[in-house]
């Protein structure tokens, strides 16, 4: 009997000492566990399983009254430490294995003209299944940590300078599950073809990648924009509309340029960016998805029913896939509405042209040189002609006179001159008394208004010569002297011939 009691006491003592022995002789910490986290996880898993088994035995002994509650609590603490170490190692491996890929980044053109990027993110970590098999993990703890889910994914789009060019500035994906991609739509605040995708997820993992944006293969159109979409052009002049064409197509790369709703009286032509080569089609290459061109238009010299002064003309530039030309009606035979243009489902831009006219003042005069006596005056007339493309208003003439000269102008001003109309000014210039003999110059300056713009005619210079007065007595004396001289020469000749 005493022997049996001694054996039981010894066994109980060994069981009580086992947790301490395990704690002292269990799996020690290895500094390389932080570097090789998968091996560290194996080590922590084994220690956790040993601690769990030991804790279960200690509970049985406690239930039999062989150990005290203090010993059980001490063993429970050892087990809790092993469990925490295992969980930390497991989390470290899970966070290290988390990985997000950008499956698609498609740039597209919205109906309101804005540029968007449709981003597709994929949780490619899925490595959870691989290392679960590798270290033989298939327990409730592993499943509770949701190894197939990446939480709190923050995404932004940056330009080359690192500035955020997306709206929203930062998008959040609360959970990104393996096998369930997340789709995010961003508005591009800067028109770019290559951007940087910046992500923060998990325990602070950061990732950035520079990618070239894809084009939507379901769209077959070219987006068109013009910074100078509305212009004022004088009749008889030429204007150019700049065009920026960006390809949004995954199937076609050759397109035709057309104009709709522009009157036939207005000539038009498309040119390349340098403005030297005329073209009707353009082609995009694999490396070039944006092209520039110009639409050059020339207005007629005179207004007409289709081209009225100060009445805006709205028209459209369309970019059609080359193979769709046969299915598109003639754009120049009808007046298209906005809804009809949209139904064509092609790239287009609405432009506006405001024909402006400007009067041109022409001054005509039959004579600009006069010769008078000191007591005479110069009577002259000039014609004002509107050779421009807009009515002239308030035509006036001003004269720069020599000192003490006087003038009379009738009428003082002409209220208006229609296109091609002419009217006359009558002018009288009178020199002062006791004026010296010589030549005097007067300058005529004409001005008018055309549509709130000043118009000046060509200056004219009038030359007036003042001659000396005629003395009748002196003229008679000179005449008799000439007659006497001639008579004397005749008589002398006759006498000389008789000898």
In angstroms, the CA 440 to CA 426 distance is: 20
pLDDT tens readout for residues 8-66? 333 334 334 444 333 433 445 554 455 455 566 677 777 888 888 888 888 888 888 88
Specify the residue for token string 């287009």: 348
In angstroms, the CA 173 to CA 330 distance is: 50
Write out the H or E segment, with its range, that includes residue 308.
Answer: none
Mean pLDDT of the 191-209 span: 87
Higher pLDDT, 497 or 315: 315
The pLDDT assigned to 15 comes to: 39
Whether the predicted pLDDT of 136 surpasses 50: yes
Indicate the SS3 state at residue 475.
helix
Q: Percent of the chain at pLDDT above 90?
A: 26
Query: For residues 210 and 195, is the Cβ–Cβ distance under 8 A?
Result: yes
The pLDDT assigned to 245 comes to: 86
Whether the predicted pLDDT of 4 surpasses 50: no
* Secondary structure (DSSP) of 425-444: EEEEEEPPTTPPSEEEEEEE
Whether the predicted pLDDT of 130 surpasses 90: no
The pLDDT assigned to 79 comes to: 83
Higher pLDDT, 37 or 181: 181
Higher pLDDT, 136 or 311: 311
Q: What CATH code would you report for 220-356?
A: 2.60.40.1510
Whether the predicted pLDDT of 145 surpasses 60: no
Torsion from C-alpha of 482, 488, 494, 497, nearest 10 degrees: -100
Mean pLDDT of the 340-356 span: 87
Q: Which of 22-26, 277-281, 359-363 has the weakest average pLDDT?
A: 22-26
Sketch the domain layout of the chain as residue ranges.
2-97, 100-215, 220-356, 361-466
pTM score: 0.56
Average predicted confidence (pLDDT) for the chain: 80
203: closest CA among 58, 280, 93, 309? 93
Mean pLDDT of the 113-127 span: 81
Higher pLDDT, 157 or 474: 157
365: closest CA among 236, 460, 282? 460
- Superfamily of chain region 361-466: Immunoglobulins (2.60.40.10)
- CATH fold of the domain at 100-215: Immunoglobulin-like (2.60.40)
pLDDT tens readout for residues 398-452? 999 998 999 999 999 999 998 889 999 999 999 998 888 899 999 999 999 987 8
pLDDT band at residue 140 under the 50/70/90 scheme? low
């Amino acid at each position: 009997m005493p022997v049996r009691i001694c054996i039981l006491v010894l066994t109980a003592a060994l069981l009580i000492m086992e947790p301490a022995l395990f704690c002292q002789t269990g799996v020690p910490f290895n500094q390389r566990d932080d570097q090789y986290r998968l091996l560290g996880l194996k080590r922590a898993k084994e220690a956790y399983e040993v601690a769990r088994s030991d804790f279960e035995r200690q509970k049985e002994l406690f239930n039999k009254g062989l150990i005290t509650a203090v010993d059980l609590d001490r063993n429970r603490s050892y087990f809790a430490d092993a469990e925490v170490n295992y969980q930390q190692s497991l989390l470290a491996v899970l966070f290290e294995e988390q990985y997000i890929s950008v499956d698609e980044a498609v740039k597209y053109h919205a109906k309101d003209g804005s540029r968007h990027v449709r981003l597709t993110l994929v949780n490619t970590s899925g490595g959870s299944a691989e290392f679960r098999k590798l270290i033989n993990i298939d327990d409730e703890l592993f499943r509770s940590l949701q190894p197939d889910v990446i939480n709190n994914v923050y995404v932004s789009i940056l330009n080359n300078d690192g500035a955020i060019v997306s709206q929203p500035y930062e998008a959040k994906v609360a959970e990104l599950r393996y096998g369930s991609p997340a789709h995010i739509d961003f508005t591009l605040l800067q028109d770019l073809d290559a951007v940087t995708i910046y992500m923060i997820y998990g325990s602070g993992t950061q990732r950035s990648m520079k990618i070239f944006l894809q084009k939507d293969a379901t769209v077959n159109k070219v987006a068109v924009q013009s910074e100078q979409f509305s212009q004022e052009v004088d009749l008889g002049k030429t204007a150019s509309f700049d065009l920026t064409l960006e390809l949004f197509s995954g199937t076609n790369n050759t397109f035709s340029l057309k104009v709709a709703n522009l009157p036939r009286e207005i000539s038009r032509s498309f040119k390349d960016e340098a403005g030297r080569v005329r073209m009707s089609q353009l082609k995009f290459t694999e490396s070039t998805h944006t092209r520039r061109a110009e639409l050059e238009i020339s207005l007629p010299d005179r207004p007409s029913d289709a081209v009225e002064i100060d009445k805006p003309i709205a028209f459209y530039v369309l970019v059609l896939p080359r193979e769709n030309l046969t299915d598109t009606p003639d754009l120049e035979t009808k007046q298209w509405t906005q809804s009809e243009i949209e139904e064509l489902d092609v790239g287009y831009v609405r432009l506006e042209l405001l024909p402006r006219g400007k009067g041109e003042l022409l001054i005509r005069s039959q004579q600009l040189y006069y010769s008078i006596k000191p007591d005479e005056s110069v009577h002259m007339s000039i014609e004002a002609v509107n050779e421009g493309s807009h009515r002239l208003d308030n035509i006036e003439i001003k004269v720069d006179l020599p000192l003490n000269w006087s003038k009379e102008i009738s009428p003082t001003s002409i209220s208006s001159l229609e296109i091609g109309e002419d009217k006359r000014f009558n002018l009288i210039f009178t020199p002062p008394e006791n004026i010296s003999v010589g030549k005097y110059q007067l300058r005529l300056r004409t001005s008018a208004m055309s549509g709130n713009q000043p118009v000046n005619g060509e200056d004219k210079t009038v030359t007036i010569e003042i001659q000396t007065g005629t003395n009748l007595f002196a003229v008679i004396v000179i005449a008799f002297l000439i007659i006497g001289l001639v008579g004397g020469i005749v008589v002398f000749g006759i006498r000389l011939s008789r000898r």
